[in-house]
Copies of this chain bind each other. A is one copy, B any other.
Amino acid sequence: MNRIHDELKKLATYSSTKVPAITRVLYTDKDLEARDYFIALCEEINLKVTIDAIGNIFSRWEGSDSTLPAVATGSHIDAIPLSGMYDGTVGVFGGLAAIRTLKNEGYKPTRSIELILFTSEEPTRFKIGCLGSRMLGGQLKVADVLKLTDDAGESFDEVRKKAGYTSNLSEVLLSKNHYKAFVELHIEQGPILENEDLDIGIVTKIAAPSSLKITLTGEGGHAGAVLMENRKDAGVAGAEVMIAVEKVAKESESKDTVATVGIFDIKPRAVNSIPKEVYMEVDLRGTNVTARDFALNKLKEDVKTICEKRHILYDIKMVNCDSPAICDSDLVNVVESVTKNLGYKSKRMVSRAYHDTLFMALIAPTTMIFIPCRGGVSHRPDEYSSPAQIEKGVETLKNTLKILTES
């Protein structure tokens, strides 16, 4: 079991920032090198690797009855700027460890097992999360993916081809019954398991995420020469919007509605120039769709009020406004019985973070296996799960895969 820890440490070195700060952005050299590393490990244990037109990687262990729908597991290895080494990666390399152990134990599955490395779970480059699974699940159409461009103005289609993924985009979509089940292993990214001293969380529902792009346009000018009363400062308007984002989440009727302004860019960005434009990205989600949508609508009203008062033009684009995923109760029961048999302390829980599972739920019965992470910390360099915690997650996944592929 030390092996997966060594592999995660090795994987962490494929980063454009210095370890422990991990930055692995879609289709950059570091991302492609990390993918090669993963593929080599899959091939070492004779998994058959196929890659689709956007770089979703499927590593297959053929079962004795290859006509049956396979059971799938997996996660992602892309990492937002300056984040940690466990988010996503534990599900990919944990899946690999589970398969490797099953093979070493001489297990012969009836159904095939597929380990999936999803392309771009993080929205860093193209501003849309779960890009790979979203396309697999049919929630991102070819026509829409062709419209995506990154901050440098490069289109998704150009960069995926540069990365070597050149086949037809229409082939990415999977059919509704392609898999018998999909189970994702992941760190919790919250403090509940640690606080309650539990080994495993079994996910019954995934929160409904939404994201917005807001552009505010005022008037620039010399910071010394334009009197305060004559200003149309987009920066200060943006600051008021940022405070409104926090407020609508706090005042929604669900305690776990959360909202964040993670991107806030000023133009022209000079100390002695009044901000003419602000571009911001807002993440707003919750397990209660009604509360989430209430907050969304209140925010839109607030932006209007703030901008009208300050004579600022505004543009709001809804990037995504997804439904929550309800996990499969039979699968949840299977995982729960596995943890009991292993003697692990587990509980059923809701995921308030976004996961590829959200979209895999559109084409297969799903659940997720959560393991604790220190302090509930994620998307930071100090993100951490211990080797022992990871081992329990892998054991749970391994035994779940075994049960699901026996027949």
Contact = CB atoms under 8 A, between A and B. Distances in A.
Interface of A: 80-83, 87, 122-124, 127, 129, 188-190, 207, 209, 211, 219-229, 233, 235-236, 238-240, 242-243, 245-246, 249-250, 255-264, 266-276, 281-283, 285, 352-354, 376-380
B246 A271 contact: no
Number of copies: 2
A224 B285 contact: yes
A273 B83 contact: yes
A353 B122 contact: no
A242 B236 contact: yes
A31 to B, nearest CB: 15
Contacts of A223: 258, 260, 262, 283, 285, 379
Given A262-B266, A268-B379, 16 more contacts: A80-B272, A81-B268, A83-B268, A123-B271, A188-B225, A221-B377, A221-B378, A222-B378, A223-B260, A235-B260, A239-B239, A239-B242, A261-B266, A264-B275, A270-B379, A276-B380
Contacts of A233: 246, 260
A3 B197 CA distance: 79
Contact of A261 (B229, B235, B255, B283): B235
A263 B352 CA distance: 33
Given A224-B189, A224-B353, A225-B190, A269 B262 contact: yes
A275 to B, nearest CB: 7
A275 B258 contact: no
A262 B281 contact: no
A272 to B, nearest CB: 5
Given A242-B239, A273-B262, A226 B268 contact: no
Top 4 nearest A-B pairs by Cβ distance?
Answer: A239-B239, A223-B260, A239-B242, A189-B225
A188 to B, nearest CB: 8
A130 B221 CA distance: 18
A243 B236 CA distance: 6
B380 A220 contact: yes
B271 A224 contact: no
B190 A207 contact: no
B224 A207 contact: yes
Contacts of A256: 227
Given A221-B377, A240-B239, A379-B222, A246 B228 contact: yes
A222 B351 CA distance: 12
B81 A269 contact: yes
B209 A224 contact: yes
Contacts of A207: 224
A270 B263 contact: yes
Given A220-B380, A224-B209, A225-B376, A263 B267 contact: no
Contacts of A83: 268, 270, 273
A295 to B, nearest CB: 11
13 contacts: A81-B268, A82-B267, A123-B270, A123-B272, A190-B226, A221-B376, A223-B285, A224-B283, A226-B258, A228-B257, A235-B260, A236-B242, A260-B271
Given A233-B246, A236-B242, A122 B225 contact: no
A282 B270 CA distance: 10
